[in-house]
């Protein structure tokens, strides 16, 4: 059973860089018999809805939400079965629960999610 | 971006009720539409993919329908564990987008 787990600092100062890692266990971050997966970051502001941040393939190809693209870097480390998020120049508006999630090629749905990590931007 | 609008934003219902939630896309998403259930403090859980396919392990009281721009999620007989917030999500064209959510509360 595939499991995803987010890790990183829970508190980031304004103007600094938010860095998170998603560790994947129980399956490979690279392709398998089911196909090639999209590895995603999604966030949820307090008491709000869900906002998709971006995805990365195991090959390193990425696609980011245009609203965040200028501040965003998503990378993958297949040797560690991990992918990462870096969001720079953060403000209080970036305070949210950050989820990592796997999207499968069947109908491009998010079938596995991490538990989420709350990141607060505050001095 | 493809905007998704859910209605209602919230509803009150009783155990045993039939519940229907709608999701309307501003432009076609074909059948690249999924539904998720989220409980407080938890990650969303996939219920329905490809507009009408039931995810493995999800009770059959959940069903989805629609294509193009109009979709529905139905719960045939609401159970106590179904009180939660429900989101639709499109993956027809990136950036992937979510509806604003529908909170199903106890009447």
| Closest residue by Cα to residue B41 from A85, A5, A99 | A99
Confidence (pLDDT) at A39: 96
**Which of B49, B87, B98 minimises the CB distance to A109?**
B49
Q: Give, in order, the Cα–Cα distances in Å from A103 to each of A57, A58, A78, B70, B91.
A: 10, 12, 17, 23, 10
Contact A62, A68 (CB under 8 A): no
pLDDT tens, N- to C-terminus, chain A (123 residues): 899 999 999 999 999 999 999 999 999 898 766 678 999 999 999 989 999 999 998 888 999 999 999 999 999 999 999 999 999 999 999 999 999 999 998 889 999 999 999 999 999
- Residues A8-43: b if buried by 16+ CB within 10 A, e if exposed: beeebeeeeebbbbbbbeebebeeeeeeebbbbbbb
pLDDT at A106: 86
Of chain A residues 96-115, which have a CB less than 8 A from chain B?
A: 99, 101, 103, 106-111, 113-115
Q: What is the pLDDT of residue B37?
A: 98
Instruction: Provide the token pair at B81.
Output: 């564990």
Pick among B35, B96, B101 to test the A interface (most A CBs inside 10 A):
B96
Q: Which two tokens stand for residue A122?
A: 């505050």
Instruction: State what percent of residues in chain B have pLDDT above 90.
Output: 100
Cβ(B83)–Cβ(B24) under 8 Å?
no
Is residue A62 within 8 A of residue A37, CB to CB? The reply is no
Please tell me the distance in Å from A14's CA to the nearest CA on chain B.
Answer: 25
Contact state of B46 with A110 under an 8 Å Cβ cutoff? yes
B44: nearest CB among A50, A64, A65: A50
Distance (Å, whole) CA A29 – CA A22? 11
pLDDT at B40: 96
pLDDT of residue A34: 66
User: What pLDDT sits at residue A58?
Assistant: 81
Q: Give the model's pLDDT for residue A36.
A: 83
- The CA distance from B86 to B101, in Å, is 5
Question: Which residues in A lie closer than 8 A to residue B94 (C-beta atoms)?
Answer: 55, 63
- Asked if A118 reaches chain B (Cβ–Cβ under 8 Å), the answer is no
Give B15-60 pLDDT, tens digit per residue.
999 999 999 999 999 999 999 999 999 999 999 999 999 999 999 9
Write down the pLDDT at residue B27. 98
Ranges of beta strands (E only) in chain A are 3-7, 11-12, 18-25, 38-44, 50-56, 62-64, 72-77, 82-87, 96-104, 109-113, 117-121
Whole-number CA gyration radius for chain A: 14
Token pair, residue A83, equals 């992918």
Closest CA in chain B for residue A46 = B41
Whether A52 sits inside 8 A of B36 (CB atoms) is no
CB of A10 less than 8 A from some CB of B: no
Cα A123 vs. chain centroid, distance in angstroms?
24
Report whether A18 contacts A85 (CB < 8 A): yes
- Listing DSSP states for B49-86 in one string gives ETTTEEPTTS-TTEEEEEETTEEEEEESS--GGG-SEE
């Amino acid at each position: 059973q595939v499991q995803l787990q987010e890790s990183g600092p829970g508190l980031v100062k304004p103007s600094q860089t938010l860095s998170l890692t998603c560790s994947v266990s129980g399956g490979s971050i690279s392709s398998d018999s089911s196909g090639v997966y999209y590895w995603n970051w999604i966030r949820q502001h307090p008491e709000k809805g869900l906002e998709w941040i971006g995805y990365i393939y195991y090959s390193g190809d990425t696609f980011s939400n245009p609203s965040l693209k200028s501040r965003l870097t998503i990378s993958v480390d297949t040797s560690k079965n991990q992918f990462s998020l870096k969001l720079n120049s953060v403000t209080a508006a970036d305070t949210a629960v950050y989820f990592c999630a796997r999207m499968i090629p069947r109908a491009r749905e998010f079938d596995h999610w991490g538990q989420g990590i709350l990141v607060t931007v505050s001095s | 971006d493809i905007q998704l609008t859910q209605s209602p934003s919230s509803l009150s219902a009783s155990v045993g009720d039939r519940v229907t939630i709608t999701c309307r896309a501003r432009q076609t998403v074909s059948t690249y539409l999924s539904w998720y259930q989220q409980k407080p403090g938890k990650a969303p859980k996939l219920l329905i993919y490809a507009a009408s396919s039931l995810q493995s392990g999800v009770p059959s009281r959940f069903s989805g329908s629609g294509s193009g721009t109009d979709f529905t999620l139905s719960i045939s007989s609401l159970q106590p564990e179904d009180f939660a917030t429900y989101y639709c999500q499109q993956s027809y064209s990136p950036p992937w987008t979510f509806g604003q959510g529908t909170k199903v509360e106890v009447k």
